Structure 1
Amino acid sequence: MGIFSKRDNNEQPKLEGKENAVSSSDLLNEESTTEQNKEIQTELSIHSEWELPKEDIYAYQFLNMECTPLKPNQLSLSGINLDEEKEGLYRVTAFVRNSLDKAIKLEETTLVLVNKEGQTLGRKAFDLSELGEIPARSSRPWHFYFTHKDLFTQELPREDWQLAFQLKPSSRKHSLDLEASWEKSLAEDSKARLEEVVNNLTPPKEGEVNFMGLQVKKADNGDLHVTLLIRNGSEKNINLEQIPLQVEDANGDVVAKGGFKLDHLTVKANTSKPWTFIFPKAMIVKEDADFSKWKAYAPTQK
């Protein structure tokens, strides 16, 4: 694994490839709550089974420090070098970088090799579980091997290439996402009914976020309890901090309206999450509402 042995003694190692970073929610459906404008420096992490000469460890440490800081919730491939190990077998070495504040495990993922003009030079599916658990905020060097059958050209650049994740539209079925408090408090038959509702509904359009009414109930103190499904049709998790809502009855009259502050309520990609909003009596504008048919919506979504 001594990939730096061909260097002259006075030659500093350098990153010959470019960086490709993607959102962790796009690849893993995982996010952390790290402050979004914070820069993440990743620490070098060598796989436990790699036995490296000291010069390679020093070189990887140096190159890792040369990498651009990542943003929160990113996974990145940072190109180190590209070499023909033997005739017809090309070794692409890159850092696999994780800016999440927790360790991750990757699965089989398709990677593409592109040149500086963005042209695809090769494509191959790799079993990234072989990297093992990649610690929080770390960079793990790894070798990716391409053969002629994986490449679309025999002329590979030595510099300014990029190894990139090939992201595919999610094929996951739209599913129920329960907050931990709901998971603990709901009876199993109630969970089953919610799952049945979600499974029988037409999923929201790609990228769409909307609300669907589940239950409306007036409390003894005059408050209105409105339970909705928050439906996330996008391929990314959404974090809700504030929602303006209006409720209409069967006559199309506004029954209640107000704004709700939420404690960073997260709805995962391609899921629906039930949530109950309580309108205090002061927010109710129509007392004798007909709830034989009703809907709730953000005013801009009507």
Structure 2
Amino acid sequence: MNLVFDPKWDKALPDTDRRKIEQTFQKFVLPNTAGKQITFTPLWQARNHRSDLLVTVLINNYSSQAYSFGNTTLKYVEDNAVKAEKTFTLERVYVPLDSSMPWTFIFPESSFINSSINLHGSLICHNLNDLDPPD
């Protein structure tokens, strides 16, 4: 499993955040996980000045092909309760096979199902078929 960065992230990422991402990748992302395709390893969560929820994760691609997100519905879950849900189309996100890449998914306040968010959750995608191989 390789750790890759979007070129814009690679240029702008502060060293402290890069170290946290690298440490999380080394500690929690397992190589050769059989039966998995795409998983998310939580990095951090925050709220911005507009009250949007920012969920930063490592996108782990265990599949045999590269993926991008096209019309993919993700849910933000805390304590087994869905707190936010949004459909993402991210043409710029390209996760090579056998790679992990950090990304921040932004859930606007209008996507909240429950506004009591404590910033200790995770992302789930029930239908991995929504993930599109890039052209």
* TM-score, shorter chain, exceeding 0.5: yes
1:241–1:264 Cα contact (<8 Å) kept = no
CA offsets 1:138-167 (integer angstroms, 9 cap, x no match) = xxxxxxxxxxxxxxxxxxxxxxxxxxxxxx
Per-residue deviation at 1:241? Answer: 2.5
Query: Which amino acid in 2 is paired with 1:182?
Result: W
Equivalent residue of 1:299, what SS?
A: coil
CA offsets 1:52-79 (integer angstroms, 9 cap, x no match) = xxxxxxxxxxxxxxxxxxxxxxxxxxxx
Percent identical among aligned pairs is: 24
Which residue of 277, 285, 301 corresponds with 2:113?
285
Structure number with higher relative contact order (C-alpha < 8 Å, ≥ 6 residues apart): 2
Equivalent residue of 2:127, what SS?
A: helix
Equivalent residue of 2:118, what SS?
A: coil
TM-score of the aligned structures, taking structure 1 as reference length: 0.39
CA offsets 1:250-272 (integer angstroms, 9 cap, x no match) = x3221100101111421112111
2:77–2:83 Cα contact (<8 Å) kept = yes
Q: Please identify the structure whose Cα radius of gyration is greater.
A: 1
CA offsets 1:16-53 (integer angstroms, 9 cap, x no match) = xxxxxxxxxxxxxxxxxxxxxxxxxxxxxxxxxxxxxx
2:48–2:54 Cα contact (<8 Å) kept = yes
For residues 16-95 of structure 1, the aligned pairs below 5 Å read none
1:217 and 2:46 are equivalent in the alignment:
yes
Which residue of 234, 237, 242 corresponds with 2:63?
234
* Structure 2 gap ranges (5+): 129-135
Which residue of 117, 122, 126 corresponds with 1:299?
126
Which residue of 166, 176, 180 corresponds with 2:3?
176
* Structure 1 gap ranges (5+): 1-173
In 1, distance between residues paired with 2:16 and 2:118?
Answer: 29
Per-residue deviation at 1:220? Answer: 2.4
Which residue of 186, 200, 205 corresponds with 2:27?
200
In 2, distance between residues paired with 1:184 and 1:294?
Answer: 28
1:255 and 2:83 are equivalent in the alignment:
yes
In 1, distance between residues paired with 2:111 and 2:14?
Answer: 31
1:204–1:231 Cα contact (<8 Å) kept = no
1:211–1:228 Cα contact (<8 Å) kept = yes
Per-residue deviation at 1:204? Answer: 5.8
Residue equivalent to 2:103: 275
RMSD across aligned C-alpha pairs, in angstroms?
1.9
In 2, distance between residues paired with 1:252 and 1:236?
Answer: 30
CA offsets 1:181-227 (integer angstroms, 9 cap, x no match) = 00000123322221121111223624521112211111221211111
Query: Which amino acid in 2 is paired with 1:195?
Result: E
Query: Which amino acid in 1 is paired with 2:55?
Result: V
Equivalent residue of 1:184, what SS?
A: helix
* More strand, by proportion: 2
In 1, distance between residues paired with 2:16 and 2:116?
Answer: 32
1:234–1:269 Cα contact (<8 Å) kept = yes
